[in-house]
Chain A
C-alpha cells in the first residue's frame, strides 16, 4: 500500500518542532506500524536525510517503550493495542497518517517522537513498592491470597507504564498510572503495612512531577493498551482520603 505520512520533527527539547510530510510507496499490510517506520527511515537514509527518532524496544506490547500518537489517538485506532502491535492491515492504501509524540507537560520532547518519561519513575520511587529486604521473606504460601484479590491486583499490575493515559488526558494527569500501581500493591496483604504512606507519597510525587489533576474525562481508560479501568482511580481516591484522615489523627495524638 501507498501511504502519506505527516510526522512531527523536532531537533531537541529547546527548539520548536513542526510536521513534515513524507511519501511511502510500498508497505506490506502484514507489517507492523513500527516496521512501516523502519521502512520509511531506511528510505530516508538512502536519500541522505536524517531518520525519524522514535522509542521502541520489545515490539511485543509489553515494555511500554513505544509512544506514538497516531491520527490523534495515543497508540492509534486499535483498542487495547500498543503502537508496536498495531498492524498495517488496519490502514488502507492511500491513507494519510499523522504521527506525533506524547504531549504532556510532565513528558518533555527529547527529539522527534521521543519524550522523557522519567516522571513516572519518580512516582514509583516515592512509594510504588513493598519493602521486602532481600532474603527476609517468609514462605510464599504462608499467606494465602484469595484468587479474586490476586486477579484484581494482577489487572492493575498489567500496566506497562507507557504513558498513553497521560498523553490522552486533556489535563496531562497521571492518575490512571499511579492508581494502577497503588491499587496493585494496596490490594495485597503484603502491601497493607505501607498502604497509607504509599498512597500519600505517590500522590505527592505525582503532583510534584508536573502531572495535571484528574477531572474524570476518562480518556485514559479509553486508550490504555492494557485496559486498566477507572475504578482504580476511585480506589486510590478512597485510599488517599483514609490515609489523610489516619495521618491527621495519628499526628493529633
Chain B
C-alpha cells in the first residue's frame, strides 16, 4: 500500500494557501458534467454536498435516517472551537494548532491540524451568515466558553444544542440545493458496498431501507462522511444506527484503516443503570467549566454512599478528593478527556466509586451555585440539568450529578492524505470517518470544527484537484452497467440472502451486546497484551457463532430493521478484531489508548522532576511515532500493517503535562 501524505512544501503557516494556488481547478462550465456521490449528511457530508452543488457539480447524497437533518451530528451539545480570539485572551491559529497537536498526544499529522486551525475562523463566519443562533453577550457579540485541554475561551455554543444548530444550518443550505435540484437526496438508503473501476472509486451499492431495493450509483468520485464507529462497543453515546459499515466496506476494497484503536472515552456520561440499557448519555464537557469532580477520600464512605446510607452532602469538605484539581492544578477540572476518564476509573478501581454499581464519581455544582446563583447556572446548563433529571430522576441543583466515562468518539478512521483522499484514488473521506486531525485524543469541541472544515473548506478544493487531474474526458464515463457493479451488487445480495437463510436462534442485537462486552472489558479504558489476545480469540469465536446462529426474521424486500442491524453487527464483528489488533500492536500508551504495561513509574525522570505523576500514559516516540494503517488481506487472514511516519516540524514532541 502506498501511503503518500502529499503534505505541501513550505512553511507550516503557508502550506494550505500555497497548496490552494497550485491545485487543479475544474472550470465552472465543466463542473455539471461530474457526478459526486456523498454518503452521509452529518456536518461533514451536508456541508460538502451543499458546497459542491453550489459550485455546480451534480451531487447525490445518501443517509440512513428518514431525513438528512437527523444525522448524529445533531446530538453534539457543548460547542465548536475556532481561533477567533474574540475574548482577547491570547488565542490564535497557532495556539489552536498547538493545543490540538498536543491534545492529540503527538499522533496526528501536523499539516492537517494547522489547516484545521486556519479554517476554523471561516466556519464561524459561515455558520453565523446562515443564521445559526450562537449564544451572545448582552452587547450582541458572540459569547465563548472553555473546553478541556485549552487555557483560552474559544468555544462557540448554542445553548446545549450546538451540534443541532450547526447541523440544521448545513441541512438548510443542503435543502436549498435539493429544492433547486442540484442535489438529489436519498434518505433511508444504506450504502453496503463501494465500487471500484480500474482501482478508482466510481460508485456505490445501496439498499433502500423502505422497499429493500438494491440499487447501483455510478459517480466520478465518492465521498464518505459516514461518522464514527463507537458502536462497536455496543454501549456508547452514539446514535443507534451509527455504524462502521461504509468505512469497513471501503477497507475491504483496499482502503487503509488507520489507528482503529484510538477511541475516545468521554469522562462525563451518565453511569450505566442495568442490563437492559441500550445507550449511554453524555453530559457535555462544558459542565466542567463550573462543576467540580470528586470522589470520597475513603472507601468506607464510598460504600455507604453506594448503599444510600450517606448522601453526597453528608461528606465534609476535607473528606472529598477533588482529584483532577489535585493532580492537574493548572487545568483542574478541564484536563483533557483521556486523562479525566482514566482518573475517574482509577478512583473507582480504588473502591472509591459511587452510584449503585460503584462505577461513578460526582460532578458537583454546589460551589458554582453558591458563587453565581442558581439562575446563572440554569441559563448555562438548564437543558443538561433537565436531561439528567429526566434520565436519573435526581435533581442536580440539589444533589451532585453522578458521572462515569463512556465510549464517545473515534479518532481512528480511513486513512487519508492531505487532500482527504484515501489510498483508493477518487475516494475521499471526511468528518469522524477519517483519521486525520485528532491523533490519539480529540479535544472537546473539535469534531464539529473538523467536520465543517472538511466539508466546507477542504473538499471543495481538493476534490476538484482529483477531477481536474482525471480530465474532463473522464466525466460521467463510468456507467452503472459496468461489470464492476454486477460483482458488487451480487456480493450485497448474497450477503442479505445469507443473513435470512441462517434462521438461527439468537438476535443480531444479542450478538452486538456480547461483542460490546468483550470490547469494553478487554479493549476499553485500560488495555493489556494477554487480554487483547484473548479478545481477538473471543471475537473470532463469536463471529463464527454469529454466522451459524443469527436469526434474522422478515424479508429482504421490505423495511426490516433486524436485517439492517444484522449487517451492521456483522461488520462490527470483523472490525472489532481489527481494533484489538491495532491496540495489541501499539505497545505504548498515547491519548485514548492506554496500555497498562506502558505508564509512568516512580523511577522515571519525568515523574522525579514532577512533570507528570505516576501512572500517566507513556508514549514511545522512538518506536511508535507513526499512524498504523491496516490493509485488508482476505477474510480470516491477518491484515497487513503499513506505517505513515509522523514528523513534527513546529510543535516539538514532548511529554504531555497538564499539571
Contacts and interface: CB of A to CB of B under 8 A. Distances in A.
Contact of B138 (A28, A81, A147): A147
A141 B457 contact: no
B67 A59 contact: no
B155 to A, nearest CB: 14
Nearest to B135: A150
Interface residues of B, number: 83
Contact of B74 (A62, A134, A146): A62
Interface of B: 47, 50-51, 54, 65-70, 72, 74-75, 84, 86, 122, 124-131, 133-142, 158-159, 161, 163-165, 168, 171-173, 175-176, 178-179, 185, 187, 210, 239-241, 273-279, 281-282, 386-387, 390-391, 393, 456-457, 460, 505, 507, 509-510, 551, 553-554, 558-562
Given A134-B126, A151-B133, 5 more contacts: A32-B278, A39-B276, A48-B551, A121-B175, A140-B129
A150 to B, nearest CB: 4
Interface stretch (A49-57, A211-219, A235-243): A49-57
Contacts of A16: none
A35 B66 contact: no
Contacts of A28: 273-276
Interface in A87-108: 87, 89
Contacts of B278: 32, 34-35, 38, 59
A161 B173 contact: no
A160 B164 contact: yes
Q: Is the interface of A mostly helix, strand, loop or mixed?
A: loop
A168 B128 CA distance: 33
A139 B125 contact: yes
Contacts of A39: 276
Given A87-B390, A132-B173, A137-B122, A51 B168 contact: no
A209 B133 CA distance: 28
Nearest to A158: B161
Given A60-B281, A65-B70, A129-B173, A135 B122 contact: yes
Contact of B187 (A35, A118, A128, A154): A118
Contacts of A132: 126, 129-130, 173
Given A137-B122, A140-B128, A191-B131, A145 B390 contact: no
B553 A50 contact: yes
B124 A111 contact: no
Contacts of B390: 61, 78, 81, 85, 87
A46 B504 CA distance: 10
Contacts of B128: 137, 140, 190
Given A63-B75, A146-B140, A38 B69 contact: no
A85 B390 CA distance: 7
Contact of B66 (A38, A55, A85, A141): A55
A188 interface: yes
Contacts of B158: 154, 157
Nearest to A133: B54
Interface residues of A, number: 79
Contact of B175 (A48, A62, A85, A128): A128
A64 B69 CA distance: 9
Contact of B559 (A42, A110, A136): A110
Given A50-B554, A60-B387, A160-B164, A144 B140 contact: yes
Contact of A62 (B75, B138, B561): B75
Interface-centre pick from B54, B122, B128 (highest chain A CB count, 10 A):
B128
A161 B387 CA distance: 19
Interface string A9-45: 0011000000000000001101110110011011001
Contact of B67 (A81, A111, A129, A161): A161
Given A62-B161, A133-B54, A111 B70 contact: no
Contacts of A62: 74-75, 161, 163-164
Interface-centre pick from A63, A87, A137 (highest chain B CB count, 10 A):
A63
B66 to A, nearest CB: 6
Interface in A109-140: 110-111, 114, 116-118, 120-121, 124-126, 128-140
A11 B139 CA distance: 56
B240 A56 contact: yes
Given A31-B276, A53-B561, A60-B387, A48 B553 contact: yes
Contacts of B393: 87, 89
B67 A154 contact: no
A74 interface: no
A11 B211 CA distance: 12
A184 interface: yes
Contacts of A7: none
A11 B560 CA distance: 11
Contacts of A78: 390
A191 B239 CA distance: 32
Interface in A128-185: 128-141, 144-147, 150-151, 153-154, 157-158, 160-161, 184-185
Contact of A157 (B124, B163, B165): B165
A83 B391 CA distance: 12
A185 B169 CA distance: 11
A253 interface: no
B129 A136 contact: yes
